[in-house]
Homo-oligomer: A and B are copies of this chain.
Amino acid sequence: MQQGKASIQFEQPVRIISRASVGSKKEKEGPLGQLIDYIDEDPKFGKNTWEEAESQMQFLAAQKAIEKAGISQNKIRYIFAGDLLGQNIATSFGIMNLNIPLFGLYGACSTMGESLSLGAMTMNAGYADYVICMTSSHFASAEKEFRYPLEYGNQRPFSATWTVTGSGAVVLGKEGGMVEVKGITTGQVIDYGIKDSMNMGAAMAPAAADTIYHNFTDFNISPDYYDKIITGDLGYIGQTALIDLLKKKGYDISKVHTDCGIEIYDGETQDTHAGGSGCGCSAVTLCSYILKQMEERKWKRVLFVPTGALLSTVSFNEGQSIPGIAHAVMLETVN
């Protein structure tokens, strides 16, 4: 495999040595409910505000991941983390008491891909023995940040997704664990001029297609190299767009593709419309379902591609389009 312009292949094994996921009531009721490490049916997680609740989820996910890694907290050299809220407040207040150096990230819902990418780069370069990569989202804090106060009770179109209330964290190390990070493909901002914030799957699909295409060409591989190619939160509408876009470039991923937003909720019974979304969507799905499937040797090679829609209420209200970004991480079960 060759190293291409948007990709890095790691020479030193970087292992995911532990994983932890946190969710709330709707996540518990979904198909992955039994796989999530910590569920609090109170969406405020015992706190006063939605934002504090989201911070608490990050804290719980980090704590649980460290505990499962079986190492002491002071051995973790860096946290790579971010969230959806303005000025990353869920992260800043969530990880504050861990007293670990922080690289704060913003990649919208692609953050789990970005944090894993930078974490693996850091580990592979020998800068750290252990790092944490994590992110979160919260349905209520995201609706407040991006859309309408919950009290309005506005109707949601069928193209809208449902922001996952959850957090996922992994500890990367050099030894232990069953899944390696083999390489990464880093996305650029891609804008197809889509302006509908209730159809973010369509806004993000071009970015996912671009990153997956670069992954194929940089490593000279085809879709069947992977057992699964799993995007972040395109949902059903974005999935169709992604498959079409890659077909036009000569790649058919329809047999191996799924999406965290499709896996995390039951669209028929949970009223989630196009699927789940938010930074927490790909993070929780990775840390509860994807890595478990790999540990159980059901999948050997997975391309994990969290996808982000780069908008704010300010950019949206000023008539700007919604560009997307996607960061791909090549995961492989150790022999």
Q: CA separation between A117 and B125, bound complex, in Å?
A: 14
Q: Does A277 contact B (CB under 8 A)?
A: no
Residue-wise interface mask of A (303-320) relative to B, using a CB-CB cutoff of 8 A (1 in contact, 0 not): 000000011111100101
Residue contacts A-B, CB under 8 angstroms, 15 given: A8-B127, A51-B315, A86-B312, A86-B314, A89-B311, A89-B312, A92-B323, A93-B320, A93-B323, A101-B188, A102-B188, A102-B189, A106-B106, A144-B314, A145-B314
Cross-chain contact A96 with B323 (CB below 8 angstroms): yes
Residue A92 contacts which of B74, B82, B88, B189 (CB distance < 8 angstroms)? B189
Contact-size category for A: 35 or more
Cross-chain contact B312 with A85 (CB below 8 angstroms): yes
Q: Does A159 contact B (CB under 8 A)?
A: no
**Nearest-Cβ distance from residue A232 to partner chain B, whole angstroms:** 15
Interface centre among A84, A99, A117, A310 (most CB of B within 10 A): A310
Q: Does A118 contact B (CB under 8 A)?
A: yes
Q: Does A262 contact B (CB under 8 A)?
A: no
Given contacts A87-B106, A121-B125, contact A315 B93 (CB under 8 A): yes
Contacts of A78 in B (CB 8 A): 186
Q: CA separation between A122 and B86, bound complex, in Å?
A: 27
Q: Does A105 contact B (CB under 8 A)?
A: yes
Contacts of A100 in B (CB 8 A): 188
Cross-chain contact B315 with A89 (CB below 8 angstroms): yes
Interface centre among A6, A93, A189, A314 (most CB of B within 10 A): A189
Given contacts A315-B51, A320-B93, contact A104 B102 (CB under 8 A): no
Cross-chain contact A105 with B105 (CB below 8 angstroms): yes
